[in-house]
Amino acid sequence: MTQDVAGRHVVALDLDGVTDKAALMERCARALELPDWFGRNWDALADSLGDSSLWPAAAARRGLLLVVAGWQPYARSRPDEWETAREVFTEAAERTPALTVALELGGSHSRG
């Protein structure tokens, strides 16, 4: 899902069903439309989040709001991996003014 909020291009990163780092990286690659050569590791994710030339075209022009949903089960089952992912998201947002990362805190979300 993509849309615009407050002038930013919104990308939903749905982690529902993600059980390991490989699946997390695959969801990131798909949601952010990253190139095939995306390395699928923490450094590559950090670099991609910080490089607006790799974002979807609309986001590169207006900024990116990455909304992470369905992350709680992954965080509970893989706390060390989630901590690293959260650090990557936080550091990328802190050093890239055009990037905002938001964690969806609501309960279960419906699929329709």
55: which DSSP letter? S
- Residue 102: beta bridge partners? 67
- Residue 13 banded pLDDT, cuts 50, 70, 90: very high
Single-letter residue type at 45: L
Which of 74, 76, 80 lies closest to 28 in space, CA to CA? Answer: 74
What values do phi and psi take at 8, rounded to 5?
-95, 150
Higher pLDDT, 48 or 1: 48
In sequence order, which residues have a C-beta less than 8 Å from that of residue 34 and are 6 or more positions away?
A: 28, 48, 54
What is the average pLDDT value for the chain, to the nearest integer?
90
Among the residues of 17-71, which ranges form H helices? 21-31, 42-50, 57-62
Summarised one tens digit per residue, pLDDT across range 16-38 is 999 999 999 999 999 999 999 99
Q: Reply yes or no on whether the pLDDT at 4 is more than 60.
A: no
pTM, two decimal places: 0.86
- The pLDDT assigned to 57 comes to 84
The HSE-up count of residue 18 (CA atoms within 13 Å, CB side) is 26
Q: Reply yes or no on whether the pLDDT at 10 is more than 80.
A: yes
Superfamily of domain 2-103: Barstar-like (3.30.370.10)
- The pLDDT assigned to 8 comes to 87
Any idea where the domains of the chain sit in the sequence?
A: 2-103
Summarised one tens digit per residue, pLDDT across range 52-74 is 999 988 888 889 999 999 999 99
